[in-house]
Amino acid sequence: MRTLLVVNPAAGHGRGAKAFRSLEARLLREFPGLEVRVSERSGQAVEIGRQAAERGFERVLCLGGDGTPFEVVHGLRSAGPSPRRVELGLIPAGTGNSFLRDFGVTTAEEAIDGILAGRRRRVDLVEFEYQDEGRTERRFSLNILGVGLIADILKLTNERLKFLGSAGYSLAVLLRLAKGMNNRIDITADGRAWTIRDSALVISNSKFTGGKMMIAPPADVSDGKADLVVFREVNRREIVAIFKGVFAGTHVGHPKVEMTSAAEMTVVGDPPLLIMADGELLGRTPLRLKVLPGELTILA
């Protein structure tokens, strides 16, 4: 198979570069004719993904964090044809590496073994639209969409606390909660509409986010639906209690946590709320999404 490797050296605070150096010899040996492209700036993996589709690569490997396949898949889709014919392999070398955890894969060596074994998994893709400076933008998510509080925490982590790694995210939770929440969110999920206030939500295609946080324990990457997790009208004390249970998935039993699943959703925030997708900060609500069942073939 014609195989392209996309390397994000900046993933995981430089972990991507170190991982590539240690794995390069094996990758070149195991994948004859392997072509390597390095993503050196934000958005470049989108261009590489588009070129991969146009040049007819049958297999694309992403060495980096969750944001690398996020960009690559958008590039594959923007080239025109469906990415169904392109097999996608993920080699974790980022901060979170959340998506692969649904398949029990946590190391780069395990990921390469799965790719070489040809373990193919058909997974859903979430197509969504949002607003960015007055324009409607479209993207595709494998993992998770965070709306409001969750995206605010990521923004704070990236801007001030990224050097602390996973501990920086935990600290950002506490710092962001000090501001509280004041919003109204209108949600429509498969035709059902309701309104929540002073709340936050995530929409998950897979179970994990931020590494080991099991934000949506019932999520199934191949069920044709996305899982909506709502933190409804929570105060600071409640959201801290909820956060403590996220790593074990026990937070879903908290009375302020609600869950549902749907194939199509709309989220409108007042004021407009910041959006995060697969660890990447984007624009703001309104957010509209639909699940594309079995749209991707993942090697894992």
Domain containing residue 13: CATH number = 3.40.50.10330
Does a structural domain hold residue 299?
A: no
Residues of the chain with pLDDT under 70: 80-84, 165-166
The whole domain housing 49 covers 3-118
| pLDDT, tens digit (0-9, with 9 covering 90-100), for 92-121 | 999 888 999 999 999 999 999 999 999 999
Residue 256 lies in a domain: yes
Q: Is residue 298 assigned to a domain?
A: no
Identify which of 210, 215, 212, 221 has the alpha carbon closest to the alpha carbon of residue 66. 210
- In this prediction, residue 280 carries a pLDDT of 93
Residues 68 and 202 in one domain: no
Residues 57, 89: contact at Cβ < 8 Å?
no
- pLDDT value of residue 96: 80
Q: Are residues 99 and 234 in the same domain?
A: no
Amino acid code (one letter) for 284: R
172 and 206 share one domain:
yes
Would you state the structure tokens that stand for residue 74, as one six-digit string? Answer: 């958008």
Domain boundary among 62, 84, 118: 118
* 111 shares its domain with 180: no
Gap between the Cα atoms of 114 and 131, Å rounded: 37
Asked, for residue 54, whether it belongs to a domain, the answer is yes
Give pLDDT tens digits for 253-264.
999 999 999 999
Quick one: 74 and 146 in the same domain?
no
Residue 73 belongs to a domain: yes
Tell whether 66 is covered by a domain: yes
Together in a domain, 234 and 271: yes
Residue finishing a domain among 118, 151, 169: 118
Residues 87 and 180 in one domain: no
CATH number at residue 288: 2.60.200.40
Q: Are residues 92 and 158 in the same domain?
A: no
pLDDT value of residue 293: 97
**Quick one: pLDDT at residue 13?**
85
Decide if 75 contacts 140 (C-beta within 8 A).
no
How distant, in Å, are the alpha carbons of 69, 105, 157, 165, 265 from that of 89? 9, 12, 28, 25, 28
The string over 135-158, giving b where at least 16 C-beta atoms fall within 10 Å of a residue's C-beta and e elsewhere, is eeeebbbbbbbbbbbbbbbbebbb
In terms of domains, do 97 and 148 share one? no
The answer as to whether 300 is a domain residue is no
Q: Are residues 23 and 102 in the same domain?
A: yes
Burial 85-114 (b: 16+ CB within 10 A, else e): ebbbbbbbbbbbbbbbbbbebeebebbbeb
For residue 166, the model assigns a pLDDT of: 66
CB atoms within 10 A of CB 123: 22
Structure tokens at 286: 């309104």
Torsion sign across C-alpha atoms 183, 130, 160, 241: positive
- Cα distances from 205 to residues 9, 127, 135, in angstroms, run 26, 11, 25
Last residue of a domain, one of 88, 118, 148: 118
Residue 278 lies inside a defined structural domain of this protein? yes
How many structural domains does the chain have?
A: 2
Domain shared by 158 and 189, yes or no: yes
pLDDT digits (tens, 9 = 90+) for 73-89: 999 998 765 555 799 99
pLDDT at 158: 81
Q: For residues 119 and 135, give the distance between their C-alpha atoms in angstroms, rounded to a whole number.
A: 39
- Rounded distance between C-alpha atoms, residue 264 and residue 126, angstroms: 9
* Residue 239 φ/ψ, nearest 5 degrees: -70, -30
Q: For 220, what's the count of Cα atoms within 13 Å in the CB-facing half-sphere?
A: 11
Are 38 and 135 contained in the same domain? no
Q: Can you read off the two tokens belonging to residue 65? A: 């964090």
Residue indicated by tokens 């509080």: 149
- Structure pTM? 0.93
- Maximum Cα–Cα distance for the chain, whole Å? 55
